[in-house]
Amino acid sequence: MKVLKLENISASYGNIEALRNISLEIPAGSIITLLGANGAGKSTTLKVISGVVKPTLGKLIYQEEELTGKSPDQIVKIRVIQCPENRQVFPQLTVLENLQIGSYTRRDRTAVKEDLQKVLAMFPRLKERLAQFAGTLSGGEQQMLAIGRALMAAPKVLLLDEPSLGLAPIIVKEIFEIIRNINQTGTSILLVEQNANLALSVADYAYILENGRVALAGKASELKKDHRVRELYLGVTS
């Protein structure tokens, strides 16, 4: 079952065409990764899905319902949730307040309380720092907070934009274990990630963007062996 589909999507920033006729699918319960160089259109793809950037052409379909043109708050309400690049926590709010903001569209307060406990069990360091201002956390802790805040919206599809950016390798390993765990609970994930090796290791399927187009697509395990991918994205020359 396909939870989310992009059909022939194009998008522009003024006269600059960022996406050119791209199509991709996110099956239920899967991890899909988007790879590509800076400026290839990865983050724009996430912004189109979350309603921040309006496509100039094409359709966005979620569970057979067309979402094209819907506002970001409408997208959030159907539980397609983006965890943005560079974390973007609210630095002058506490950890708890940041997490509570993630659930602002929900009315099921009992379920929200239960989800808070699940998030804190997933991120024990956040539990220790609930009253601490988010701006005083380390980069890794802020990334955990950003993911936790997204989980408080009870996502059916989670959009992750560069979750390993700027983090130490040991923290990156921890974050990716958490991503696997989130997926195992049934949440579909679209992952934009600079670390192609890690992304292909965790994903079921991958799309590689070049200049706003899908240049290559396939099972992640197969693309990891593809000589073009190995040379361009994994740093392997033989």
Using the predicted structure, report yes or no on whether residue 238 has a pLDDT greater than 70: no
Domain boundary among 153, 175, 198: 153
Using the predicted structure, report yes or no on whether residue 143 has a pLDDT greater than 90: yes
In a domain, residue 198? The reply is yes
- Cβ neighbours of residue 15 closer than 8 Å, sequence gap 6 or more: none
Using the predicted structure, report yes or no on whether residue 65 has a pLDDT greater than 60: yes
Using the predicted structure, report yes or no on whether residue 167 has a pLDDT greater than 80: yes
> Look-up: residue for tokens 């052409």?
57
Using the predicted structure, report yes or no on whether residue 233 has a pLDDT greater than 80: no
Domain boundary among 153, 178, 205: 153
- How many structural domains comprise the chain? 2
Mean pLDDT confidence for 222-227: 90
Using the predicted structure, report yes or no on whether residue 213 has a pLDDT greater than 70: yes
With cut-offs at 50, 70 and 90, classify the pLDDT of residue 64: confident
Give the pLDDT of residue 61.
95
In a domain, residue 87? The reply is no
In a domain, residue 238? The reply is no
Domain boundary among 116, 138, 153: 153
With cut-offs at 50, 70 and 90, classify the pLDDT of residue 126: very high
| Strands across the sheet containing 65-66 | 16-27, 2-13, 57-62, 65-66
Q: Which residues pair with 17 in a beta bridge?
A: 12
Average pLDDT, the chain: 93
User: Same structural domain for residues 24 and 135?
Assistant: no
Using the predicted structure, report yes or no on whether residue 112 has a pLDDT greater than 90: yes
User: Same structural domain for residues 137 and 196?
Assistant: no
Using the predicted structure, report yes or no on whether residue 160 has a pLDDT greater than 90: yes
User: Same structural domain for residues 163 and 129?
Assistant: no
Using the predicted structure, report yes or no on whether residue 10 has a pLDDT greater than 80: yes
Q: What is the DSSP string of the chain?
A: -EEEEEEEEEEEETTEEEEEEEEEEEETT-EEEEE-STTSSHHHHHHHHTTSS--SEEEEEETTEE-TT--HHHHHHTTEEEE-TT----TTSBHHHHHHHHTTT---HHHHHHHHHHHHHH-HHHHHTTTSBGGGS-HHHHHHHHHHHHHTT--SEEEEE-TTTT--HHHHHHHHHHHHHHHHTT-EEEEE-S-HHHHHHH-SEEEEEETTEEEEEEEHHHHTT-HHHHHHTS----
How far apart, in whole angstroms, are the C-alpha atoms of residue 125 and residue 139? 13
User: Same structural domain for residues 135 and 99?
Assistant: yes
Mean pLDDT confidence for 1-12: 91
User: Same structural domain for residues 74 and 161?
Assistant: yes
Give the pLDDT of residue 235.
65
What pLDDT digit, counting tens, does each position of 186-209 carry? 999 999 998 899 999 999 999 999
Mean pLDDT confidence for 80-93: 94
In a domain, residue 84? The reply is no
Provide the residue range defining the domain that includes 47: 2-79+155-232
In a domain, residue 171? The reply is yes
With cut-offs at 50, 70 and 90, classify the pLDDT of residue 237: low
